[in-house]
Structure 1
Amino acid sequence: MENKKQGSPKRGHPKKEKVKLSTSINLKLTESDFKTVKEKAEKLGMKATQYAREMTLKGGIKSRFTLEELDLMRKLGGMGNNLNQIAKQANKSGFGQVSIEIVNIALQIKQLLDDR
């Protein structure tokens, strides 16, 4: 640290201030209500207390993508990449040679979307 200049501005994003949760509200639920809250929280990848806090403070939760949706986006992204490579090849060598590949990818995309 001896080589660093004194008083020089720090680079990068400023550190996020961590606020300690120090006050609590006790909330009693029936077993079925707690199970419902816990299931909803798990679907969003959250703990039940975190879910309850967000619902209380914000009145709703911005939903994250489910694992199924993330997998679908990854597959579609890969297929889009393949399609771009085929388009590049078609422009280079002519459409007739790559038309079969285009039809196969279109069928894969249709099957992926129909399986949902």
Structure 2
Amino acid sequence: MENRDKSGEKAISRGRPAKKKEKLSCSINLKLTEQDFNSMKQKAEKLGMKATQYAREMVLKGSVKLRFSLEDLDLMRKLSGMANNLNQIAKQANKSGFSNSAMEVIMITEQIRRLLNDR
């Protein structure tokens, strides 16, 4: 089916062409023990994947590209917030002198140590 403009001529399509995604039409029936299945499911969940997606990548590639786990994402979010706080304290220290901001810096440094030692 071709796109045509009002005059009947072939219209030039604009924009990014649609991705042609190959449909998954073939299947393999795989039987696992309950223990093996739970182990695979846990590994997939740690990577934020579904069990079938995890199994497919293991079969085709022999390994799964490691993504950030939910724990890693939470840690990065917390560290980002603390970095933002440190930047605000540094700005405040430049205005009013470091001695006024020293306690805040010590508290945040201790929070970062605890966060990293909990891993």
Q: Deviation per CA, 1:29-55: give whole Å up to 9, x if none.
A: 223222222222222222221111000
Within a 5 Å distance, the mapping from 1:8-47 to structure 2 comes to 9-10=14-15, 14-47=17-50
Within a 5 Å distance, the mapping from 1:15-94 to structure 2 comes to 15-94=18-97
Q: Which AA in structure 1 matches 2:38?
A: K
Structure 1 residue 95, shift from structure 2 partner: 1.3
Bigger radius of gyration: 2
Where do 5+ consecutive residues of structure 2 fail to align?
Answer: 1-10
Contact 2:46 2:70 in 1 (8 A): no
RMSD: 2.0
Shift in alpha-carbon separation, 1:44–1:90, aligned structure 2, 3 A: same
Q: Which runs of 4+ in 1 moved over 3 A?
A: none
Q: Deviation per CA, 1:1-33: give whole Å up to 9, x if none.
A: xxxxx53631xx553322100111222222322
Where do 5+ consecutive residues of structure 1 fail to align?
Answer: 1-5
Q: Distance in 2 between matches of 1:26 and 1:50?
A: 14
Q: Distance in 2 between matches of 1:47 and 1:39?
A: 10
Q: Distance in 1 between matches of 2:77 and 2:106?
A: 20
Equivalent residue pairs, number: 110
TM-score (norm 1): 0.81
